[in-house]
Every structure is written in C-alpha cells, then in structure tokens.
Homo-oligomer: A and B are copies of this chain.
C-alpha cells in the first residue's frame, strides 16, 4: 500500500499553458477513467493514461486535520482489459488531458477536463507528508483540497457543467 497525500487547486490564469509548453520535462497525456466503485470508502478506478492502464483502489481520506491522506493501491493492467472494464464502469466516463509540469522540485499535474466537465481545470501536487512545503507556481489559484465536488468520483454524478457558478 502507498499513502496518497495530495493538494488540489484551481488555476488563477492561463499561465500554466506556457509552462506546459516551455518547461523542460513537461509533457501531457490523454486520460480516460471510470469507476467500478465511486463509494468514498472504497473507490475502484480504471484509468487509461496514454499507452498504459491501471486499476487503482483508494480508501477513505483520513489522517491529520487536513484529511488529505489516503491509502492507495495501484496495479498496471493491459490496455485492452481497461477498454473492456471501462464499459462496465458507472457512466459517464471522465476524460481529461493531464499536463505534468515540473516546478521547483515537484511535478504539478494540471487536469483539463472534457465533455460534461469541460471548463474545469484543476492543478494537483503530490506530497510526501501533509506538512511538506512546496513552491506555488504563479498561475496557482484557490485551494480546493477539501471541496468534495472536485473529487473525480463525484464529477460523475455532479459534472462541472451542472454546477451553480
């Protein structure tokens, strides 16, 4: 088991697109993911990430006051299996482009969503401890780590296009 500790933010402006193009080591992949279980106690996710695919299980977030840690188990699976499994998943699926942008020792993952969640852009950073410091890119906006609407499993039932904004 790994422990996943991540913080999630909106973006304040479009500056991340330049970083995604110009930062050495930055790259992007198309992701399609679905949920065999979107129950927050035991999330089971199928994801195709470019040429790879994974089956991932996540437990309920718990830990410190920030509640941003949770158990995560991830297994690589054949892409052909993932394509079949995505058909079993709760619908709709979640599609997004993930841009990975190195910034001062961390890699930021900026997800630009499509389809029912078009318009939503979220930036995440994975930390080694809940207290670990990190440098904020200039384009980083409001933190939404604790706003459950932004959990990908919740975007299934309440897609961004249907939010009161």
Binding site for B on A (CB under 8 A): 1, 36-37, 39, 41-42, 44, 55, 57, 59, 71, 73, 75, 77, 81, 84-85, 88-90
A84 to chain B: which residues have CB within 8 Å?
A: 1, 71, 73
Contact call B89/A42, Cβ cutoff below 8 A: yes
A-B contact pairs, 11 of them (CB 8 A): A36-B44, A36-B57, A37-B42, A42-B90, A44-B44, A55-B55, A57-B85, A57-B88, A59-B88, A73-B84, A75-B75
Give the copy number. Answer: 2
New A-B contacts (15) at CB < 8 Å, excluding given A55-B57, A57-B85: A1-B81, A1-B84, A36-B36, A36-B37, A36-B42, A37-B37, A37-B44, A42-B88, A42-B89, A42-B90, A44-B44, A59-B88, A73-B77, A73-B81, A73-B85
Taking a contact as CB atoms closer than 8 A, the residue among B71, B75, B81, B90 that contacts A77 in the complex is B75
A75 to chain B: which residues have CB within 8 Å?
A: 55, 75, 77
A39 to chain B: which residues have CB within 8 Å?
A: 37
A90 to chain B: which residues have CB within 8 Å?
A: 42
A37 to chain B: which residues have CB within 8 Å?
A: 36-37, 39, 42, 44
